[in-house]
Amino acid sequence: MKSLAAVAVAAATLAALATGQEAVAAPTAPTGPVITCGTPGAPGTLLTRACVEVTGNQVRFYGIAATTHSGWQPQQVGFTVSGTVVGGAPIAPINPTVLVQAGTTSVGSIVTTAPCGSTVSGSFSVNQWGWPPSTAAVSAVVSC
């Protein structure tokens, strides 16, 4: 399959050169997911970061929680993960409660599809009674 694509690109380049036109490279498909994480939320007991993973037109919203204290003891923590396709129908947020170990923990997963060229936005926050808020946000373009 790759050799057919290479032949097609070579033929197009030769045809462009013969007519004096500028050759244009064929678009290449992404080789894997593109992950974008936003800036961390307000510092607190946990540092939050919202992330979006794009593979083709499939989008996954999730968060990363990182402990900030060396004496952290594993505990259950509530979070909210949300995502939107700008201009699209609302996506219901999720509110997982996760056992957070010392270090970093991936939290939640909302998967949807989005049109190529659209912008997606996500947010991730601590949703635990008595804890200070720490909300993080991220935006990315679905470039297919």
Q: What is the pLDDT of residues 65-99, one digit of tens each?
A: 999 888 899 999 999 999 999 999 889 999 999 99
Place of tokens 């946000």: 137
Write the CA distances from 25 to 10, 16, 70, 142, integer angstroms. 10, 11, 51, 21
pLDDT per position as a tens digit, 102-127: 999 999 999 999 999 999 999 999 99
Rounded Cα–Cα distance for residues 8 and 51 (Å)? 37
Choose the weakest-confidence range: 13-27, 38-52, 69-83, 97-111.
Answer: 13-27
Q: How far is CA 80 from the centre of its chain?
A: 16
Prediction pTM value: 0.76
Cα(first)–Cα(last) distance of the chain, in Å? 20
